[in-house]
Amino acid sequence: MRRGKPCGTLRSVDRDAFEVLVRTALDELPDEFLRYLDNVEVVVEDEPDPALLRSLGLNPRRATLFGLYQGVPLDERGALFGNALPDKISIYAGPLCRACRSPEQLREQVRRTVVHEVGHFFGLDDEAIRKLGY
């Protein structure tokens, strides 16, 4: 989970262009990580639902998310794990666009958010991901 605050000035980005940023960030992941993501759905959503924010202990009036991983991390899967729905990584366009002041900053923040959420898929917690610079 990546928390973000709406504070930037980049207000509107074409949805297709935003999705290209997310696809590019995924494509730039090393192959040794990409091969594990075959049953992970990565989706772009406009905004995190306020009920979701509340369920995560966040106040929807003061906090938002840039991205969210939902699923069972690889390091928690046992030998009998299977027949499960795909894991899901949501990337939230609205908060990311509002937090960035330039297309370059948006590109970098999308990349960082994608890497951050993929880190959760691999079982890393927020502290470990931050230590890696994401």
Average pLDDT estimate for 7-35: 84
Would you call 81 exposed, middle or buried from its count of C-beta atoms within 10 A (0-12, 13-18, 19+)?
A: exposed
Strands lying side by side in the sheet with 2-4: 2-4, 64-70, 87-92, 40-45
C-alpha atoms less than 13 angstroms from C-alpha of 92 in its C-beta half-sphere: 24
Is 33 within 8 Å of 122 (Cβ atoms)?
Answer: yes
pLDDT at residue 59 is higher than 90:
yes
Tell which wins on pLDDT, 5 or 16. Answer: 16
Average pLDDT estimate for 37-65: 94
Interatomic CA distance for residues 110 and 20, integer angstroms: 10
pLDDT at residue 38 is higher than 60:
yes
pLDDT at residue 47 is higher than 80:
yes
Q: What is the pLDDT of residue 11?
A: 59
Whether CATH 3.30.2010.20 fits 2-131: yes
pLDDT digits (tens, 9 = 90+) for 68-120: 999 988 887 877 777 777 899 999 999 999 999 999 999 999 999 999 999 99
Domain edges within the chain: 2-131
Q: Which stretch of DSSP H or E encloses residue 43?
A: strand 40-45
